[in-house]
Structures are given as structure tokens and as C-alpha cells.
Structure 1
Amino acid sequence: MSVSKKFLLGAGAALVALTGLTVSTLSGMQATTANSTASQQAPRLLAKGLKTLTIIFPSRSDSTDLQTKANAVGAFLSKELGIPVKAQIGDDTAAVESLRANRADVAFLSSRPALKAEQLANARLYLAEVRDNYSGRYTYNSIFVVSNKSTLKTRNNAKATLEQLKGKKIAFTSPTSGSGFIFPVNELVKQGFVPDKEKLDGFFGQVAYGGNYSKALQAVVRGQADVAVVSEYAMFPPYITAEEKNQLRVLYKISGVPAHGIAIDDDVPVQDRERIINALLKLNQSQNNQLLRNLYNSTELVRVDHNRHLAPVREALQRIGIQP
């Protein structure tokens, strides 16, 4: 999408389109620029291509001192590409808006914001993150978690297992969470327990939102909820302690939640986009891999097809009554 077309959307339209995502914040911007000698020696992007590159790194609860870690990745990419690279920290909404307004070229995004980035900025995911604690390499499980003392049992099929939740108190993660809301509600709709996201209180005795994985799980530990829904990797530190984990068990799991990925704005010329992707893939190499691991505990980046990777979340959103 051209710059002029993006700005025709207008700030107001963008805010409306982003309704349901968290309030946007951008903070702690630092530029990590290769020194002039290194820049002169490094391979240059084409003269008509990018002169600088801005990447948004979203803050996540399992990453600390993120600005320093993002700066290190920015410095690495600056050396690889031969241009200044700015590393900015912001939430998913701010990242999408920055892509739309041409204030950023690249952003690490989770699946639903990636759909928004496509809608508002015509950006697309080109890479996905791999983690050791993802069941599907670059997909993971959404899980229903109960207390070890719960009388709820895992049955031989989804319907038999989930029908036990009627009248129970549930703690979702947040209304925008893929694994902590969208995919679990999608499963409930598929099984015929609720017609859409608006009728959850007709099935559950109480519906609450923890706000994050830790608080949703702790609601079960403290007896404030009968069941919580989170990502499978939330069953480990830093989300919960080993002691808390020992008090919980997985009742039911939903596979195929798309992993977070890296989106690139459509205004980035094709030849530059390929150079950026190839530079990012060098983070998989053993001598560079710790830079990637430091960010979000990812072990590898892999190429993905945007439409195929995001199809499950697009379908889930449509089924439960949320506009992608």
C-alpha cells in the first residue's frame, strides 16, 4: 500500500479498527547505528532502497530489559545491512499503528495484531518464531487448566470434557488473547456450547479475565476460578512458580495456535525485504543465536506463508463473532 493510501485511512479510522487491542504505548526508543567505518565497509542496500530501518519489539511479560536486548539485535542488523537500525519498544497496537503511518518498517507481532497490520498497512508476516516449549514448532497449544483437586476429568472427546464446564467459574486471559480467549471460545462454539463470544455467561457460572497468563492461572490456584485458559508455555516460570504448577493440571488442549512472527511493511522494496529476511535468518546461526534467544526465548526463525500461518486465527475470529 502506498504512503498516501495509508494516510487516507486517518488516525480515527485506525483507532476504530484497532478497538479491542491494548492501549498503544511506545517508549524507550534508542537508535543502534553501525559506526561510519563499519557502515562504509558493510554491504549497502540499493541506492533507491531503504536508508534506515525501524523495528518495533513488543513488550512481553517473559522478557526483561528488552530495550537493551533489542538494541543488540538492531546493532547486528545494522552491521549486516549497512544502514542505521532503530529498535523501538511498544505494545502490539503501537506497532500496527507505526506500520500504518510509515513510522516503522518491521515489527514482531502476535497473530491477531498481524491480521490488523495486514488490514491497515498491507504488511505481511514473513517469519515465525520457534520455541522449545511450543508443541508444534511454530504453533502451540491453548490449554484449559484446573486444580489438581478438581473433580473435572479429561474425557475421551472434546464435547464430553468441555460440557463439564457448564456453570463453572472461568478465568480467561484477556478478550484479545489468542490462546487465552479466541481459540478456547472458538472450541466452545464449535462444540455447540455457546453461539458466540457474547453468550459466554449463558454457559459459565462466572466469566472473569485475569489480564495476563499468570493472574488467570493464579485465580485457579487461589480457588477464585474453576478453570483458566492460557498458552501451554505459561505453565512454566516466569509465568508461575514450580510450586504453583504442582497445584495445576491440563484438562484439555487445543493445538495449532499460530506462533508470533515478524511482519514487514509493504512499502519496503522487494529486494530490501529479502535482504532484511536473510539478515534476520542469520540470527539462527550458532554465533548469533543468543541475540535471538535473549529477546523472547525463541530458538529459531522460520519462513512462513502469511495466509496459511494466520488462517486458524482468522477462522476462529470469524466463528466467535469478532472482526479480524
Structure 2
Amino acid sequence: MNKQLKFGIGIASIILAGVVAVNIRQIVGPIASALKLSPANAQAQTIKIVFPTRSGSTDLQTKAKAVTEFLSKELQQPVEAVFGDDTAAVEALRANRADVAFLSSRSALKAKELANASLYLAEVRSNYSGGHTYKSVFVVPKNSSLKSGQSKDTLTQLKGKKISFTSPTSGSGFIFPVAELVQQKLVSDRDRLNGFFGQVTYGGSYDKALQAVLKGQADVAVVSEYALGSPYITAAEASNLRVLYSIAGVPAHGISIDDDVSVGDRNKLIAAMLKLNQPANNQLLTALYNSTKLVKVNGDAHLQPTKVALQQAGMKP
């Protein structure tokens, strides 16, 4: 074979090899991208879910691990539990260190603002009067001279009284009751509470706010309706308390998903989470935060009452 022919065949072989390599990359690359895989490492990405610690929750790591193992099996990809408070959960979503988080309504608003993470599921409890909404309640001793009711006059009785809020960040234990006081024109905003009440304190938790009333340290406490029972107080303690005034429609906690998660993956994740409602799997959900069911919601509509309450109270998300 002459040199020119050998040279031509060699060049043709190089060109053909290049074309094949390019075509393989063109085929494999998009497929891997669509599956969220890298051509070099075709392994499914890990979904990270933040499980915040809540009052009354115990052994959360073990319970969360059971949920993530179930979801991993359903999705056929790794699911990892991450732990921290609501603030840390929002930051993890913002910094792309997490994909999903169980959040309170106020934190869900913050996650939407900072991380563009939307709420898709809400928690339901058997002791929520509204299914996926519940009541904020003003609670007094059973033998208090204050008269229970649902009018402005009922709240007017609290002027000069000692109140124990749950905490300055609590929806039912601060935000909604302060918004109600503003709406009833008894205070102008959260910074004017001392001008109406004789003393303002914060229990730091539902049980401690209620204990302040039970021990005579406060005339009234503000908590969630479901705090009037175990594990917050005993049945005997609850029998010595009564609801003075209630505010309905407080949005339940829910599950937010970061916008970086594709629509397809998000839908699969939601479908897997909804399987926790099934009798065979429900104990996994109930063990977490005492929720009995997850329901699909319009995130913006679900969170709107909290957004309005924050504005009325003169607070930011």
C-alpha cells in the first residue's frame, strides 16, 4: 500500500473516531442531564429533607430516618434527613443545602421570599378544629372572673391584666392574637402591648405559658388549641383552665419544596409523601409531629392568613 493511501486511511480513521465520540456525547449528555445525572457518575442525586425540632417532638432523628428510608425506597434514590430549627431550615433551602423542609407557616413565607421554595402540602391533626387549620386561644383559669365570648368586649376585659404569650415568633401564641388585638383596635401594633396589658411575659413554649396561668403568675396565656392536653399539660391541669376567646384559621405547618427540584421530581416526591397517609405507612407520619395526614394545598392561599396577621401586627415574615 503506498504512503499516500495509508495516510488517507489514517486521517479517515481519526475523523470517524471523532465523529463517533461526539455523537456518543451528544446522546449520553442530554439523557444524563434529563435524569439529573453526570455522564461520568450516573448515580441519582440525594434529596435532603429538613426536619425541624418542635415542642413535644421526641427521638426525632430515629423517626425522621424511618420516613426518609420509606421515601428512598419509593423514589428509588437516596433521601437524607437534616436537622435544625426553622431558621436553619430556611437557610438550608436558600443555600441549596436542602431540597425540602417541614416548616411553620411563617417560616414557609420566609422560604418563599428567600429561596423561592413553595408550600405544597399541609399537615392535618385530629385535634385541629379546621383540619389543616387550627385555633389560637386565650386561656384563663376556670374560676377566673373574666367572661368567655367572641366579642371585642371579651378582649377588652384583658386591659391591665398579666399575659403570657408563647414566644415572639409563635403564630398561634403571638402573631395571630396580637393581630386580633390590633384589628379590634385595642393596640396599634406589637410594640404597644405594654400600654394595654399590665404585664407581658413569654413562656418560651406552650406548656410554660400555660403553667404561668396555672401557677397564678399570669391572668391569661395564648397558645394553640391543641396545647390544652398531652403532652403539654395533664388532663387534671386542663380541667382547671378554660378558653376565654379563640381565633380560627391559623394555617397548619406544611412541607415546602425548593424550586431547584424539577417539576417531574417534585410530583414524584409529593406522590411518595402522600403514601404516608395510607394505613400501612401512616404511623411513620404520625410519629414525627403527631400529624395524621398530609393534604395538597395552594401554598399562597394557605399562607395568606399568616401574611395578613404579620402585617396587622407590624411584623415581617
TM-score, length-scaled by structure 1: 0.85
Do structure 1's residue 218 and structure 2's residue 211 form an aligned pair? yes
- SS, match of residue 198 in structure 1: helix
- SS, match of residue 165 in structure 1: coil
Q: For 1:69-112, what per-residue CA distance to the aligned partner results, in whole angstroms no more than 9, with x for missing partners?
A: 00000000000111111112211011000000000000000000
Equivalent position amino acid for 2:76 in 1: G
Q: For 1:186-236, what per-residue CA distance to the aligned partner results, in whole angstroms no more than 9, with x for missing partners?
A: 100000100000000010000000000000000000000000000000001
Q: Which residue does 1:229 correspond to in 2?
A: 222
Q: Which residue does 2:257 correspond to in 1?
A: 264
Q: Which residue does 1:243 correspond to in 2?
A: 236
- CA distance in 2: counterparts of 1:86 and 1:94, whole angstroms: 16
- CA distance in 2: counterparts of 1:136 and 1:46, whole angstroms: 41
Once the 2 structures are TM-superposed, how far is the Cα of residue 130 of structure 1 from its aligned partner? 0.4
Q: Which residue does 2:36 correspond to in 1?
A: 48
- CA distance in 1: counterparts of 2:209 and 2:187, whole angstroms: 21
Equivalent position amino acid for 1:257 in 2: V
Once the 2 structures are TM-superposed, how far is the Cα of residue 60 of structure 1 from its aligned partner? 1.1
Do structure 1's residue 129 and structure 2's residue 117 form an aligned pair? no
Aligned partner (choices 101, 104, 107) of residue 110 of structure 1: 104
**Cα RMSD (Å):** 1.4
Q: Which has the larger radius of gyration?
A: 2
Aligned length: 280
Once the 2 structures are TM-superposed, how far is the Cα of residue 48 of structure 1 from its aligned partner? 2.3
- CA distance in 2: counterparts of 1:309 and 1:52, whole angstroms: 29
- CA distance in 2: counterparts of 1:88 and 1:236, whole angstroms: 29
- CA distance in 1: counterparts of 2:62 and 2:109, whole angstroms: 28
Aligned partner (choices 133, 140, 148) of residue 134 of structure 2: 140
**Long gaps (5+) in structure 1:** 1-44
Once the 2 structures are TM-superposed, how far is the Cα of residue 46 of structure 1 from its aligned partner? 5.7
- SS, match of residue 119 in structure 2: strand
Do structure 1's residue 61 and structure 2's residue 59 form an aligned pair? no
Counting only pairs closer than 5 Å after superposition, residues 135-284 of structure 1 correspond to structure 2 as 135-155=129-149, 157-284=150-277
Q: Which runs of 4+ in 1 moved over 2 A?
A: none
- CA distance in 1: counterparts of 2:276 and 2:45, whole angstroms: 22
- CA distance in 2: counterparts of 1:61 and 1:172, whole angstroms: 15
- CA distance in 1: counterparts of 2:244 and 2:35, whole angstroms: 56
Q: Which residue does 2:40 correspond to in 1?
A: none
- Percent of paired sites with the same residue: 68
